[in-house]
């Protein structure tokens, strides 16, 4: 029998089951003690979860039956969450007031394996854009339901969340407004610039290298370099300070993100506009379209998927880079990450890092759906 | 092109001076330092920080290149075909993981220090290299591949003499992307106690010393821009040699 | 009537089109033929001002093309190119209706015009209207491209190697279709090609371009029998000349009364077809048939003496 992804998942999944699924620690700072999957709760409670994981991995072996593999992945994931829910309450029993339970290496590995199993099956099923949107919505709804129902609230990460609920909401919004706001600003600057670059090769030759050098500058350095620049603007330009332009905080983070965003926006706008088949463009000129009509009716609609791909790159990249804003007082999930690193509080790091990852993944999936929806022409020839 | 001829040596000279003779820049950074505070970072030698920074990036990128190219070769052989969709899924999903988050997540798993940073850089560096090597190996000109088979090269000879050389420029682009990301992420590595130039910037941020932030930021920025430029030149040279 | 007077196009001092003058009659097909780099495409593109002439002038029905904005001018000149240039993101109907839409025709008028054209090109409107170009065969794409160029009933249709991307069998059909449609609509067509065979098949008049100059402009028969220069003779081909000439002459020209054996030919067939049929089946004459009745015959001897007539 050849090695298949399903077989690889099973082998790795079984190995991951042999690692501690969760840890129990005396308080939020000290290292915890690993607990195996079958020990997280009473055996009758654990067995359904274990069976579901094993059955899921087993179904994942059926190469060529993506729907069955998808079901296997979902079943395994359900089993994994079941074990987590059981463990979160059972392990804390009589462990002391400050005790914390967290998922451990075994859990994370199984999570990754099962998610990959699902993603691999989905890739083979190729759902249409709208179906993908529905699946994403369903997955997020289940996630919200599990987190909102409180069955996991004993977990250490969620304990951290509980003690800073308001801050978390504020920083989430801040993170979103940093990433999406800088995307919007970059689009407002980048689209016209891209269109100009498309029309004038000289401008393109001068602009794109500068923008790609900007992207090369390491993010921490870029954020740092914004501080003196905006500090200077804030203290010399009258009124700048009153609209929030200052050396640290939101403004330098926002500006740094906009600068990073320009290359993908401008570059993909140029590439998108240039992707029009030359014959179609020649025909458009020949039939008497004005330059503006060619742009709006031919070049932009045909380039839209590529232009949106640029926005996807920017959004995903900015969600990640916005973490660094936490270092210069710009807020966002980075606040938790760097606080956690300072205090060596693992769960606080996770409280910042996990939502960032989820946000980036969701943004990528949503943007991919948009890109697919804007592909013109026959929908069923892919 | 002509600007580059003057600018490149100039930037290299400035970078070397900043790393080797930081004191020369005291007048430049003086206005940014807090009154009475230190102007030039002296807690560690900038040279040793630079070397450590570049060493981490070089090691991680080298390892990532070897592993990623090997994986790309395996997946593009007939026997590895079953893993192609999966490898694409992993690269697509993996690249949406923010580098900073990857770095932060290695701390719970591996603790603080240079080691975890190295691992994070290695893991993240795999993706662009694999993606480009995979693309390059799957989009070789069919006529050339047919000719290679037609003149009687066996699989191994085709790989070594035809496929890998032809895939080199695109693969190099992936390596360049990976190195640029690694340079930046390594800077953030100093927040998890890796010895990198990020230390200077972080120290500046923590003590409100803009002079440190500028100093660190400029050195890291210059390194990144010059290394990026050097790799672009190398790619251009190789592409020209292959008549691309 | 299209009048081109002393038109010249220079690129960096090199004359791509050098002092060309010609007049094209309304309702005729003029084929501009030449090798690549002969300036034939540049000449065509100067008519709808995709290229601006360095000097000289083009008049369409008496009005200079310089008297209006280029994009307004182009809307009343049809333009079809090699590789069709259809908009991949628009349906067939929207592609064909592109120029009427630019001219702000009412929607129902555009719709009926699109259906009319699809019918004309033997494409069932219900079946093809809502398809995308990628869902059509090469020949269908090309037909939609020509239909689009004809949509607004232009004064003039310019075609730049319109059949260049088609394989030989489909190309012959497309040429026949174009001839049929042109005769039905009475359109004025100027077509560029590098293929002398195509020029002779389609053209009422053939213009031969060489190195930017118009070296000969006449009927296909003139170009074949009295080539103006060595170059034109080469384009026609020494060995091909008699056959090309015969291909221009309909059977009716030399038909005589009488009978002959074997399969008959239709009246639209050329002497070349008749010669071919004779040689292949070993006959010395072929019967001519019209509406199911034998109306006469064409003999090998008659073909031969007709071919010698040019002397």
CA distance B175 to chain A (A): 14
CB contact under 8 A, A381 and C84: no
CA dist C150 and C162 (Å) reads 13
Does A130 share its domain with A30? yes
Q: What is the pLDDT of residues A248-287, one digit of tens each?
A: 778 888 999 999 899 999 999 999 999 999 999 999 999 9
- pLDDT of the residue at C82: 85
| Helices (H) then strands (E): counts for chain B | 11, 0
Whether chain C has a CB inside 8 Å of the CB on A379: the answer is no
Does A178 share its domain with A111? no
Query: Smallest Cβ distance to A349: which of B86, B108, B218?
Result: B108
- What are the structure tokens assigned to C209, written together? 């371009």
In a domain, A40, yes or no: yes
Question: Domain C2-236, what fold?
Answer: Rossmann fold (3.40.50)
Does A229 share its domain with A351? yes
- Among B207, B22, C98, smallest CA distance to A297 is for C98
Region C20-36 average pLDDT: 92
Does A206 share its domain with A301? yes
Confidence bin at C125 (pLDDT 50/70/90)? very high
- pLDDT of the residue at A377: 53
Which of A 135-164 lie inside 8 A of B, CB atoms? Answer: none
Q: How many C-beta atoms lie closer than 10 Å to residue B20's C-beta? A: 12
In a domain, A159, yes or no: no
Three-state secondary-structure class, residue C293? strand
Range scoring the smallest mean pLDDT among A240-254, A354-368, B172-186, C78-92: A240-254
Question: What percentage of chain B exceeds 90 in pLDDT?
Answer: 18
Subunits that touch chain B (at least 3 Cβ pairs < 8 angstroms)? A
Region A164-173 average pLDDT: 91
CA dist B166 and A104 (Å) reads 44
Q: What is the pLDDT of residues C45-101, one digit of tens each?
A: 999 999 999 999 999 998 999 998 898 999 989 999 887 889 998 999 999 999 999
Q: Tokens 């033997």 correspond to what residue? A: C122
- What are the structure tokens assigned to C22, written together? 């010609």
Indicate whether A381 pLDDT > 80: no
Residue A15 belongs to domain spanning? 5-148
Confidence bin at A380 (pLDDT 50/70/90)? very low
CA dist B197 and B54 (Å) reads 9
Does A175 share its domain with A30? no
How buried is residue C34: exposed, middle or buried, by Cβ count under 10 Å (0-12/13-18/19+)? buried
- pLDDT of the residue at A367: 92
Does A172 share its domain with A141? no
Range scoring the smallest mean pLDDT among A92-106, A237-251, B1-15, C255-269: A237-251
Please enumerate in sequence order all residues whose Cβ is within 8 A of that of C5, keeping only pairs 6 or more positions apart, or say none.
Answer: C21, C56, C57, C58, C59
- pLDDT of the residue at A100: 83
Half-sphere exposure of A314 (CA within 13 A, CB side): 31
Which of A 200-259 lie inside 8 A of B, CB atoms? Answer: 213, 215-222, 224-225, 227-228, 231, 247
CB-based contact A179:A315 (threshold 8 Å): yes
- Among A300, B46, A378, A219, smallest CA distance to C136 is for A378
- pLDDT of the residue at B7: 84
Q: How many C-beta atoms lie closer than 10 Å to residue C239's C-beta? A: 8
Handedness of CA C165, C167, C169, C170 (dihedral sign): negative
Region B103-111 average pLDDT: 81
CA dist A363 and A370 (Å) reads 11
Please enumerate in sequence order all residues whose Cβ is within 8 A of that of C156, keeping only pairs 6 or more positions apart, or say none.
Answer: C2, C47, C60, C76, C77, C78, C187, C188, C189, C190
Residue B34 DSSP code:
P
Handedness of CA C217, C218, C221, C227 (dihedral sign): negative
In a domain, A13, yes or no: yes
In a domain, A92, yes or no: yes
In a domain, A14, yes or no: yes
Region C133-152 average pLDDT: 91
Region C37-43 average pLDDT: 91
In angstroms, what CA-CA distances link A31 with A108, B101, B119?
17, 21, 21
Among A122, A148, A174, the domain boundary falls at: A148
Does A59 share its domain with A108? yes
Q: Where are the domains of chain C?
A: 2-236, 249-308
Q: What is the DSSP string of A291-316?
A: HHHIIIIIIHHHHHHHHHHHHHHHHH
CB-based contact A334:A325 (threshold 8 Å): yes
- pLDDT of the residue at A379: 46
Query: Smallest Cβ distance to C89: which of A281, A286, A376?
Result: A376
Does A213 share its domain with A305? yes
Q: At CB < 8 A and 24+ separation, what contacts does C267-272 make?
A: C267/C295, C270/C246, C271/C246, C271/C247, C271/C298, C271/C303, C271/C306, C271/C307, C272/C243, C272/C246, C272/C247
Total residue length of chain B: 244
Indicate whether A1 pLDDT > 60: no
Plot region of C224 (φ>0 → left; ψ -120 to 50 → alpha; else → beta)? alpha
CA distance A362 to chain B (A): 9
Assigned CATH class of B46-241 = mainly alpha
Q: What is the mean pLDDT of chain A?
A: 87
Report the side by side order of strands in the sheet with C14-24.
C14-24, C2-11, C55-60, C63-64
Indicate whether B37 pLDDT > 80: no
Indicate whether C33 pLDDT > 90: yes
Count how many domains chain A has: 2
Which of A 288-347 lie inside 8 A of C, CB atoms? Answer: 288-290, 293, 298, 301-302
Residue C299 DSSP code:
E
CB contact under 8 A, A217 and B224: yes
- In DSSP terms, C250 is beta-bridged to C270
* Residue C17 CA to its chain's centroid (Å): 21
CB-based contact A252:A226 (threshold 8 Å): yes
Q: What is the pLDDT of residues B119-155, one digit of tens each?
A: 888 988 888 999 999 999 998 888 888 888 888 888 8
Indicate whether A224 pLDDT > 90: no
In a domain, A18, yes or no: yes
Indicate whether A376 pLDDT > 80: no
A318: CATH: 1.10.3720.10
Q: Where are the domains of chain B?
A: 46-241
Range scoring the smallest mean pLDDT among A52-61, A128-137, B51-60, B93-102: B93-102
Please enumerate in sequence order all residues whose Cβ is within 8 A of that of A83, keeping only pairs 6 or more positions apart, or say none.
Answer: A21, A37, A40, A41, A46, A49, A50, A53
Q: Which residues of C174-200 are buried (b: 16+ CB within 10 A; e: fewer)?
A: bbebbeebbeeeebbbbbbbbbbbbbb
Region A61-73 average pLDDT: 87
Confidence bin at B68 (pLDDT 50/70/90)? very high
Nearest C-alpha in C relative to A300? C89
Q: Which of C72, C85, C100, C135 to mutate to test the interface with A (most CBs of A within 10 A)?
A: C85
Indicate whether C180 pLDDT > 60: yes
Q: Which residues of A touch C164 (CB under 8 A)?
A: none
Region A227-240 average pLDDT: 77
Indicate whether A120 pLDDT > 50: yes
Q: What is the pLDDT of residues A14-35, one digit of tens each?
A: 998 888 888 888 877 777 788 8
**CATH H superfamily, domain C249-308:** CBS-domain (3.10.580.10)
Q: What is the pLDDT of residues C73-89, one digit of tens each?
A: 999 899 998 878 899 98
- pLDDT of the residue at C158: 93
- pLDDT of the residue at A75: 93
Question: What percentage of chain C exceeds 70 in pLDDT?
Answer: 100
- What are the structure tokens assigned to B205, written together? 């941020």
Indicate whether A73 pLDDT > 60: yes
How buried is residue B133: exposed, middle or buried, by Cβ count under 10 Å (0-12/13-18/19+)? buried
Whether chain C has a CB inside 8 Å of the CB on A287: the answer is yes
Indicate whether A10 pLDDT > 80: yes
What residues of chain C have any CB closer than 8 angstroms to a CB in chain A? 48, 50, 70-77, 79, 81-90, 98-99, 102, 131-135, 145, 148-149, 158
CA dist B121 and B132 (Å) reads 17
Does A182 share its domain with A323? yes
CB-based contact A254:A179 (threshold 8 Å): no
Q: Which of A272, A284, A286, A295 to mutate to test the interface with C (most CBs of C within 10 A)?
A: A286
From the CB coordinates, do chains B and C have 3 or more pairs under 8 Å? no
In a domain, A81, yes or no: yes
Q: What is the pLDDT of residues B204-228, one digit of tens each?
A: 888 888 888 888 888 988 998 899 8
CA dist B195 and C24 (Å) reads 81
Confidence bin at C214 (pLDDT 50/70/90)? very high
């Amino acid at each position: 029998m050849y090695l298949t992804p399903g077989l690889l998942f099973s082998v790795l999944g079984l190995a991951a089951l042999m690692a501690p699924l969760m840890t129990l620690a005396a308080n939020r700072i000290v290292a915890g003690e690993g607990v195996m999957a079958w020990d997280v709760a009473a055996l009758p409670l654990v067995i359904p979860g274990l069976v579901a994981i094993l059955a899921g991995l087993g179904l994942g072996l059926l190469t060529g039956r993506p729907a069955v593999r998808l079901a296997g992945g979902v079943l395994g994931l359900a089993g994994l969450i079941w074990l987590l829910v059981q463990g979160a309450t059972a392990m804390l029993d009589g462990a002391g007031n400050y005790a914390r339970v967290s998922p451990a290496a075994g859990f994370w590995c199984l999570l990754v394996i099962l998610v990959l199993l699902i993603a691999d099956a989905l890739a083979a099923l190729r759902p249409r854009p709208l179906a993908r949107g529905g699946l994403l919505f369903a997955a997020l709804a289940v996630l919200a339901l599990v987190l909102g129902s409180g069955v996991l609230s004993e977990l250490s990460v969620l304990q951290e969340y509980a003690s800073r609920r308001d801050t978390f909401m504020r920083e989430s919004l801040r993170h979103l407004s940093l990433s999406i706001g800088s995307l919007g600003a970059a689009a407002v600057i980048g689209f016209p610039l891209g269109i100009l670059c498309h029309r004038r090769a000289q401008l393109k030759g001068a602009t794109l290298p500068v923008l790609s050098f900007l992207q090369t500058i390491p993010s921490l350095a870029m954020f740092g370099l914004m501080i003196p620049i905006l500090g200077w603007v804030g203290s010399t330009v009258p009124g700048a300070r009153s609209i929030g332009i200052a050396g640290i905080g939101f403004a330098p983070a926002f500006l740094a993100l906009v600068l990073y965003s320009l290359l993908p926006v401008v570059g993909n706008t140029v590439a998108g506009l240039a992707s029009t088949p030359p014959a179609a463009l020649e025909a458009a000129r020949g039939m008497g379209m004005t330059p503006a009509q060619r742009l709006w009716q031919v070049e932009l609609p045909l380039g839209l998927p590529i232009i949106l791909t640029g926005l996807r790159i920017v959004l995903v990249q900015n969600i990640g880079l916005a973490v660094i804003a936490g270092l210069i007082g710009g807020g966002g999930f980075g606040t938790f990450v760097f606080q956690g690193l300072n205090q060596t509080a693992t769960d606080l790091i996770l409280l910042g890092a996990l939502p960032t990852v989820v946000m980036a993944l969701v943004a990528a999936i949503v943007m991919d759906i948009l890109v697919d929806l804007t592909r013109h022409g026959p929908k069923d020839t892919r | 092109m002509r600007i580059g001829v003057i600018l490149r040596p100039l930037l290299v000279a400035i970078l070397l001076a900043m790393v080797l003779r930081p004191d020369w820049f005291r007048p430049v950074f003086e206005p940014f330092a807090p009154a009475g505070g230190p102007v030039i970072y002296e807690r560690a030698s900038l040279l040793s920080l630079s070397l450590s920074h570049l060493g981490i990036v070089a090691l991680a990128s080298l390892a990532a290149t070897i592993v990623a190219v090997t994986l790309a070769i395996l997946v593009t052989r007939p026997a590895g075909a079953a893993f192609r969709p999966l490898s694409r899924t992993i690269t697509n999903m993996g690249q949406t993981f923010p580098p900073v988050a990857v770095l932060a997540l290695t701390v719970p798993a591996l603790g603080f220090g240079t080691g975890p940073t190295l691992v994070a850089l290695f893991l993240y560096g795999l993706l662009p290299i694999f993606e480009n090597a995979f693309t390059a190996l799957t989009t070789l000109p069919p006529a050339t591949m047919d000719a290679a088979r037609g003149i009687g090269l066996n699989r191994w000879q085709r790989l070594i003499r035809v496929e890998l050389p032809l895939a080199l420029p695109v693969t190099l682009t992936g390596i360049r992307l990976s190195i640029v990301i690694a340079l930046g992420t390594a800077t953030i590595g100093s927040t998890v106690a890796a010895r990198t130039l990020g230390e200077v910037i972080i120290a500046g941020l923590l003590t409100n010393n803009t002079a440190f932030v500028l100093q660190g930021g400029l050195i890291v920025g210059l390194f990144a821009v010059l290394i990026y430029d050097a790799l672009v030149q190398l790619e251009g040279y190789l592409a020209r040699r292959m008549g691309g | 009537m299209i009048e081109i007077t002393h038109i010249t196009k220079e690129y960096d001092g090199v004359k791509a089109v050098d002092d060309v003058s010609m007049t094209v009659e309304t309702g005729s097909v003029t084929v501009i033929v030449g090798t690549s780099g002969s300036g034939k495409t540049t000449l065509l593109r100067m008519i709808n001002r995709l290229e601006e002439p360095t000097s000289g002038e083009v008049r369409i029905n008496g009005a200079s093309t310089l008297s209006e904005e280029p994009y307004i001018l182009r809307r009343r000149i049809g333009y079809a190119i090699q590789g069709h240039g259809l908009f991949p993101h628009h349906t067939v109907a929207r592609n064909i209706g592109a120029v009427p839409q630019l001219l702000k025709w009412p929607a129902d008028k555009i719709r009926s015009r699109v259906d009319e054209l699809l019918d004309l090109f033997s494409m069932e409107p219900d079946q093809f209207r809502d398809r995308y170009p990628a869902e059509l065969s090469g020949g269908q794409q090309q037909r939609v491209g020509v239909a689009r160029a004809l949509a607004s009933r232009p004064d003039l249709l310019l075609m730049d190697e319109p059949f260049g991307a088609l394989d030989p069998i489909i190309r012959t059909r497309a040429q026949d279709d174009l001839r049929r449609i042109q005769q039905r609509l009475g359109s004025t067509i100027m077509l560029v090609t590098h293929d002398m065979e195509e020029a002779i098949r389609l053209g009422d008049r053939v213009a031969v371009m060489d190195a930017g100059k118009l070296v000969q402009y006449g009927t296909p028969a003139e170009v074949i029998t009295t080539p103006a220069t060595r170059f034109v003779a080469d384009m026609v081909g020494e060995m091909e000349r008699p056959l090309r000439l015969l291909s221009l002459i309909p059977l009716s020209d030399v038909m005589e009364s009488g009978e002959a054996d074997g399969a008959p030919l239709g009246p639209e067939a050329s002497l070349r077809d008749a010669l071919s049929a004779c040689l292949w089946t070993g006959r010395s004459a072929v019967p001519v048939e019209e509406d199911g009745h034998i109306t006469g015959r064409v003999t090998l001897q008659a073909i031969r003496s007709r071919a010698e007539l040019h002397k």
